[in-house]
Structure 1
Amino acid sequence: MERWTEFTNAIKGPELGSNNTPRKLVWKKNKATLWHYAPEEKKYDIPVFIIYSLFNTPSILDFAPGSSVMEGLVNNGYDVYLLDWGIAGYEDKELNIENYIADYISKAVKRALRHSRAEEVSVIGYCLGGTFAAMYAAIAEEPIRNLIVATVPIDFSVSVLPDKWEEELKNNGFNADRLIEVYGVIPPAYVEAMFRSVTAPIYNSPYVNLLARANDKVFVEKWKRMNKWNSGHVPLTGGAFRQLTNDLFKENKLVKGEFTIHGQKVDLGKITANMLVVSSKNDTLIPAGQSLPIMDLVSSKDKTYLSVEAGHVSLAMTGKLNGILEDWLGEHSQ
């Protein structure tokens, strides 16, 4: 009975706060916000610029005190900038990947460089944010010292879908344009359903785990934070969804060198920055085979690939990514 009471309180009780690390707004464009996380004692002149996925809020990067990526970077003495995409509305339906990279990321990096008075920047991309980071680095005029991508989809010919599903979806069994015509902006429920179909179509096990450990206060706190983020999918603009579906998933244009941004070809071979690629061995969403090809596509002389024991999300929320960044980024930010 005590467990059932705590189980009910965990689900119906007040939500725990997110974005725990102090930050200030330094730039805004449309719904997107550039946040600055300032260190108490600055150790490195090269700031860190972070790009997250379009599918969810970036709060997983500031999950909880003691395991926050943002907190870890700030405590290690970095100026940190996070580009938060915000919540897209129907009026944003035409925004596509090209717009996000050329009109948002590029301008936000320029703003971060001016704000920090730095001459170079380290760019970190997580999940689809890593794909965007790689695309941006391939065309960037700004000086990128280090490029780090974690759990990143690059080669979309590698899939986690069942073979028949993938065959049907890629052979026009799914028409993204029809969905976009109806909604303009893909609703969060549809975004969540896409991920559930791949990772956990029957979403009961988290609640079973909560009931079993409902009298463990530490577990319940982590569960509530994770459940809040996991149900926090955001709308996806029709323009971005169209390019993700047609140009990347179906035609794999990024690996083929055929993807363009405002007429400029995205050639990953033009990336020369120091490179770190991190994959999670237990990632059910982005398998290592999707990430590994970038190692051969870039021209970086200093490049490292790491495969760690973690899941797609636990890499960030458990603090494992912090340790990796502390070691690698510290050596490459002197």
Structure 2
Amino acid sequence: MSASFRNFIPMLHLDKEKVRWDQINKVLTETKPDIVPTPREIIWKKNKSTLYYHPAKEKKYEIPLFLVYSLLNKPYILDIGEGSSVVGGLTERGYDVYFLDWGSPGYEDSDITLDNYIFDYLENAVKRALRHSGAKEISMVGYCLGGTISAIFTSITKLPIKNLVLATVPIDFSIGIVPDKWLKGLQNGIINFDHFSDVYGVIPSEYLYLMFRGLSPVYVSPWVNLITRAHDEEYVKKWRRMDKWTKDTASFSGAAFKQMFNDLYKDNKLLKGELIIGGRKVDLKNITCPVFVFSTSRDTLILEEQSLPVMDMISSEDKTYEVFEGGHVSLALTGKFAVFADNWLKTRSNKIKKVTV
């Protein structure tokens, strides 16, 4: 083969290509990988929900963290395996972590509302975490819709919240990634989920999966990334865990589903200060603790414009907003979430002073 021909068509690295296609074959033919969580113990349960305690590898801070994820997806994306775990990254950095798994509701849970989730589940779980830790205060860390729930909770609870971290959090529901006609139809009442929720009682996980796939701009892109980087075995391991989580959607209580779409998406009551939860008016200006809000530059699910309003709505004097390079899910998978959170939390979490003898 002439040198000019070799320059025109680069020679394939056969060993590298063999690894690449062996890995792709593994993805296509083998069962989904097991997800091994960061060491933990169950300290509280209610109905389908479970509160996990993940002890710090070497405790450095007095203030524990309480992680809240979205009700719409299973939360193990934040603890998806060694090298990618948000929970693991935080415990390695010296924090005790409490992590609430909402669970998947059954048909008997069709009448559970957002009020129930926030007061009967979240508030009681935070009480249990405070009692278990012996700490006088706790830091709330909310991701995506879990951030919305954390902000609502912090604004109405009397529990001692030391810090509030909100990652890729939707606050303004008048904008979003859904097509404009859909959003306007929802806001004008042309699109209504009440009958749909009443018929099903609990929204099946399969429907939520299809909904998320419909909202993903180009779902072929993960496969393009896989083929491009399939020679990298560590990347493929992370990709397979991510692929499993993507297809493993939770079910959703019909009552909470109706409430979320009517109060948040249709009427945008959180932004307007009109949201009522448990008979209490949700006013984010009641939040006075230190707050850290961050978005990602390539987020295709929660736009930066949806998060920014919270900075003007809260009363905190110590408040920080940043945008980091990355996407909505890659923020968790790359381990960057733990790094960003730690950089802000470590000066606000009461570092334990070592006693020298």
Q: TM-score, normalised by structure 1?
A: 0.96
**1:126-205 counterparts in 2 under 5 A?**
126-200=143-217, 203-205=219-221
| AA of the residue aligned to 2:37 | N
Is this contact kept in 2: 1:58–1:84, CA < 8 A? yes
- How many residue pairs were aligned? 333
Residues in 2 aligned to 1:151 and 1:247: alpha-carbon distance in whole angstroms: 20
Shift of 1:46: 0.8
| AA of the residue aligned to 1:181 | D
Structure 2 equivalent of residue 28 of structure 1: 45
Structure 1 equivalent of residue 7 of structure 2: none
Shift of 1:12: 2.3
Structure 2 equivalent of residue 13 of structure 1: 30
Moved more, 255-264 or 12-21: 12-21
1:263 and 2:298 correspond: no
Is this contact kept in 1: 2:107–2:202, CA < 8 A? yes
1:239 and 2:263 correspond: no
Task: Pick from 265, 273, 284 the counterpart of residue 300 of structure 2.
Answer: 284
Q: TM-score, normalised by structure 2?
A: 0.90
Residues in 1 aligned to 2:229 and 2:300: alpha-carbon distance in whole angstroms: 24
Structure 1 equivalent of residue 242 of structure 2: 226
Residues in 2 aligned to 1:302 and 1:73: alpha-carbon distance in whole angstroms: 22
Task: Pick from 314, 322, 337 the counterpart of residue 298 of structure 1.
Answer: 314
Residues in 2 aligned to 1:197 and 1:179: alpha-carbon distance in whole angstroms: 18
Residues in 2 aligned to 1:12 and 1:52: alpha-carbon distance in whole angstroms: 31
Partner deviation per Cα, 1:232-280 (whole Å, 9 max, x = no partner): 1110110111011100000000111111112111111101111000111
Shift of 1:197: 2.1
Residues in 2 aligned to 1:311 and 1:38: alpha-carbon distance in whole angstroms: 28
Moved more, 105-114 or 316-325: 316-325
Is this contact kept in 2: 1:19–1:59, CA < 8 A? no
| AA of the residue aligned to 2:232 | D
Secondary structure at the aligned position of 1:331 is classed as coil
Shift of 1:123: 0.3
Moved more, 186-195 or 226-235: 186-195
Structure 1 equivalent of residue 136 of structure 2: 119
1:311 and 2:338 correspond: no
Residues in 1 aligned to 2:236 and 2:129: alpha-carbon distance in whole angstroms: 37
Is this contact kept in 1: 2:189–2:266, CA < 8 A? no
Shift of 1:5: 4.5
CA RMSD of aligned residues (A): 1.5
Task: Pick from 79, 91, 105 the counterpart of residue 122 of structure 2.
Answer: 105
| AA of the residue aligned to 2:315 | S
Task: Pick from 208, 211, 214 the counterpart of residue 230 of structure 2.
Answer: 214
Partner deviation per Cα, 1:167-188 (whole Å, 9 max, x = no partner): 2222222221111122111111
| AA of the residue aligned to 2:68 | I
Is this contact kept in 2: 1:283–1:310, CA < 8 A? yes
1:90 and 2:75 correspond: no
Is this contact kept in 1: 2:64–2:138, CA < 8 A? yes
| Structure 2: 5+ residue stretches without partners | 1-16, 351-357
Distance 1:259 1:19, change over 3 A: farther
Partner deviation per Cα, 1:153-208 (whole Å, 9 max, x = no partner): 011112222222222222222221111122111111211222222223x6333234
Shift of 1:16: 2.2
Residues in 2 aligned to 1:203 and 1:160: alpha-carbon distance in whole angstroms: 14
Distance 1:323 1:5, change over 3 A: closer
Moved more, 170-179 or 19-28: 170-179
Partner deviation per Cα, 1:112-138 (whole Å, 9 max, x = no partner): 000000100000000000000000001
Residues in 1 aligned to 2:276 and 2:185: alpha-carbon distance in whole angstroms: 26
Secondary structure at the aligned position of 1:60 is classed as helix
Residues in 2 aligned to 1:198 and 1:9: alpha-carbon distance in whole angstroms: 28
| AA of the residue aligned to 1:32 | S
1:68 and 2:77 correspond: no
Residues in 2 aligned to 1:106 and 1:206: alpha-carbon distance in whole angstroms: 37
1:330 and 2:356 correspond: no
Is this contact kept in 1: 2:24–2:227, CA < 8 A? yes
